[in-house]
Amino acid sequence: SACSRGWYFYQRRCFLLSPFELSWNKSRDFCKTEGSTLAIVDTAEKLKFLQDKTGAEKYFIGLYQQAKNRWRWIDNSIFNGNVTNQHQNFNCVTIGLTKAYDAASCDISFRWICEKAA
């Protein structure tokens, strides 16, 4: 297999769904130690592939806002889609529980998804 054990292969990329929960910053650091980043889920196909794996859990991805309504991917590219569940100080994003990109507090612990090249 092109991916390490426990990682899923999809479109020449490898994805890891964490089995436990951390804050967004700690999730980002964990992915770094694995030679990866938080997942950049920038196509409907990738979103569907990952949601088929997440079940009814929320997973952090590499999407956040530094300023109000300026959502960016962890590689600094701009996100042009729609983020639901926006509340004050919800500056990070989860996928999994709904079919959408849901805003969430960066400080609450959720599971997360790492991504790297296969």
Q: How large is the average pLDDT for residues 8-34?
A: 97
Distance of CA 56 to the CA centre of its chain: 15
The Cα 104–Cα 117 span in angstroms is 27
Query: 59-65 and 111-117: which strand pairing?
Result: parallel
* Domains (range + CATH), the chain: 19-117 (3.10.100.10)
Give the pair of three-digit tokens for residue 103. 């805003």
- The tens digit of pLDDT for each residue in 35-85 reads 999 999 999 999 999 999 998 899 999 999 987 778 999 999 999 899 998
What whole-number percentage of the chain has pLDDT above 90?
86
Give the pair of three-digit tokens for residue 97. 């529980």
How high is the pLDDT of residue 99?
Answer: 82
